[in-house]
Amino acid sequence: MANADLIADEEEFHSSYRIFINAVEMLASPPEQQCEAMGNFNVAWELKEDVSAGQFLVKRGYLTDTQEAWVEALVGALSIVNTSVLPAGASKETNLVAMSSPRWQPARFMAKAVLEQLKEFTTANAQYLGL
């Protein structure tokens, strides 16, 4: 890979990682905060998609094997959340019902652990992005 391609790959990775970690932070939050932060619009589907995109951060050479295992475990934990059967729409009440489903609890718990396990890389990511 040429140097310019390596730089572009690194920039893309860090941008994608930031979107992922922001979604994980949101997933770790209580349902009320999740809905408010996401504008009460299809919160369940959007949040699951954003966190599940973490699978594309694996095997890129930026995270350690252990960090990748945590990302994969969280993505796997979301597999029990079938967003197609949860209520969807643009109302606060509808999204709060969807995000209060007990199906989210394992992933919400795991998201907190993932944030802790990725803390060091998240700090480096913020520095890379100038945040």
Mean pLDDT over each residue of the chain, to the nearest integer = 92
Exposure string for 41-71, b = 16+ CB within 10 A, e = fewer: ebbbebbbebbbebeebeeeebbeeebbebb
- pLDDT, tens digit (0-9, with 9 covering 90-100), for 56-115: 999 999 999 999 999 999 999 998 898 887 888 889 999 999 999 999 999 999 999 999
Q: Which residues are CB-contacts of 101 (< 8 A; sequence separation ≥ 6)?
A: 44, 81, 86
Flag whether pLDDT at 121 surpasses 90: yes
- pLDDT, tens digit (0-9, with 9 covering 90-100), for 10-31: 999 999 999 999 999 999 999 9
- pLDDT, tens digit (0-9, with 9 covering 90-100), for 26-59: 999 999 999 999 999 999 999 999 999 999 999 9
Residues 1 and 36: their CA atoms lie apart, in Å, by 42
Q: Read off the pLDDT band of 4 (50, 70, 90).
A: low
Residues 33 and 30: their CA atoms lie apart, in Å, by 6
pTM above 0.85, yes or no: yes
pLDDT of residue 123: 97
